[in-house]
Amino acid sequence: MSNNIERKLFGTDGVRWIVDREAPDFVLRLAIAIATRFPRGSRVLVGKDGRLGNSAIYGTVVSGLATAGSKVYDAGFIPTPALQFCVKEFGFDYGVVVTASHNPPEWVGVKLVLNDGIEAPPQVDAEVEEILFKSKFRVVPWNDIRSIERFDIAIEHYINSVKRNVDAEKLKRKELKVVVDCANSVSTLTTPRVLRELGLKVITINADIDRPYRPYEPTSETLVDLMNIVKAVHADFGVAHDGDGDRAIFVDNKGQFISGDISAIILSNYIASKNPDLPKKVVTAISTSHFLVEKHLISKGIDVVWTRVGFLNIARKIVELGGAISGFEDNGGFAYVPHQPVRDGTMTAVLMAELLVEESRTLADIINSIEKPTIIRMKIPIRSREEGIEVVDKIREHYKGYRIIDIDGIKVLDKEYSFLVRPSGTEPLLRVAIESWNRDIAERILKEVLSIIQSR
């Protein structure tokens, strides 16, 4: 392993690596370390997304967990939110998802879920890292290794819960038409089925679990086919998922891409009216637009609680607060809290369908009625996270005297603009987001920030 991985194994969302660039025994050691962290005999639910590289590591993960004394239940192909839901619902001691989420197809990964259905917090990650790096492994005697059992009811149980959280009769009367882009991965097992069972007319694309036709991350650049198809077939909306099905990005009936924070705004306002007894607050990551939430949530009496990027931070804050209207990130991660506090692409898609049934307007009309700031987002390659931290320190020095939020990277706030510079927790990238109600100002600040970054 590289020195960088040795210093910090877990990122914001599990462990990820390029499948053919790590020693074959790395995944076995990682799995044994995870199981060692839990008591002997712990029950673990294990599943995977549709990446081709998973065939090289999934069996090893399952074997490593069993070797260290866990009782393994194998769910096979399953979206991450479905596994998280079942870990909590069926009382598993923990869960493991073999996924690299939205990363490029050559990546694989492992995500650890605790018994509450939420990703493990940093302190648990650190305990696993210590076991791994110091080889403090537990290996049980041959006669104490438990059999590995299939767990085939997970998706059915999850789908039934999603349907219980919406008004099925209203949805069936409306007969909406939707195009679903499943990213050639595991959301093909849930979203199209749920929507069809709720009476929608569903067209699927990229719906076989195989080599991805488009990159796993759903962006305006990667969803051109979806946008064109939605417009061509006169669908009410389109929805696209990432590799493990926990994100949902929408396209309106005119084929226009909808950013994740915009869809989160309209869904949060809808949920506030649908569930008036929920606490009047949303939890969101620092990467979300300040101007959007001030204009469309705070002004309506909804409090906004900010967290570090990474949905585990959002989910755990929701639990700490005793509930919320929603939790979300700008990348399409959205949690409908009455269902579960983690991001859930299928649940989000069904909620959008229910919203449109209740509205007398098209999705394009709803989106176009929302005043939006100019938001410019960029990804800048860097050599290491340490280099990213150096850039953040430079920006902090340059903008001292401004209002700053530095819970994750650095966010600088001004009356006319706001910007965030943050090292990615999953890739060697620097993420930059600039926003302003005035495009000229946004572009000027972008040049200013890029000049500081490039001077490193």
CA distance 393 to 423: 12
For the full predicted model, state whether its pTM sits above 0.75. Answer: yes
| Annotated domain spans of the chain | 3-153, 174-368, 374-454
The H-or-E segment that residue 237 falls in is strand 237-240
Cα(313)–Cα(199) distance, integer angstroms: 35
Angstrom distance (rounded) from CA 356 to CA 333: 20
- Residue 345 — φ and ψ, nearest 5°? -65, -40
Residue type, 124: V
pLDDT digits (tens, 9 = 90+) for 292-348: 999 999 999 999 999 998 899 999 999 999 999 999 999 999 999 999 999 999 999
In the chain, % of residues over pLDDT 90: 87
Task: Judge whether residue 287 has pLDDT over 50.
Answer: yes
| Tokens of residue 366, six digits | 């709803």
Question: How many CA atoms within 13 Å lie on the side-chain side of 352?
Answer: 37
pLDDT for residue 82 is more than 50: yes
| CATH ID of 374-454, from 3.40.50.1820, 3.90.79.10, 3.30.310.50, 3.90.1150.10 | 3.30.310.50
What's the mean pLDDT when you consider all of the chain?
Answer: 94
Tokens matching residue 160 = 């039934």
Give the model's pLDDT for residue 10: 82
Pairwise CA distance, residues 441 & 448, whole Å: 11
The 10s digit of each residue's pLDDT in 157-209 is 999 999 999 999 999 988 899 999 999 999 999 999 999 999 999 999 999 99
Q: What is the pLDDT of residues 408-454, one digit of tens each?
A: 999 999 999 999 999 887 678 899 999 999 999 999 999 999 999 88
Domain at 174-368: CATH architecture = 3-Layer(aba) Sandwich (3.40)
Q: What are the backbone angles phi and psi of residue 180, rounded to the nearest 5°?
A: -115, 125
DSSP assignment letter at 344: -
Mean pLDDT of 18-33: 93
Intrachain domains 174-368 and 374-454 with the same fold? no
CATH of 3-153, one of 3.40.120.10, 3.40.1190.20, 3.30.420.40, 3.30.70.100: 3.40.120.10
Which of 70, 101, 187, 326 is catalytic? The answer is: 101
CB atoms within 10 A of CB 370: 14
Mind listing the pLDDT tens digit for each residue in 394-404? 999 999 889 99
Give CA–CA dist 239/388, Å, rounded. 33
SS3 content of the chain, % helix, strand, coil (to 5): 40, 25, 35
Q: What are the DSSP E strand ranges found in 59-168?
A: 71-77, 94-98, 107-114, 149-150
Cβ-contact 435, 448 below 8 angstroms: no
| Max Cα-Cα span within the chain | 70
Active site residue 101: yes
Which pLDDT value is given to residue 49? Answer: 97
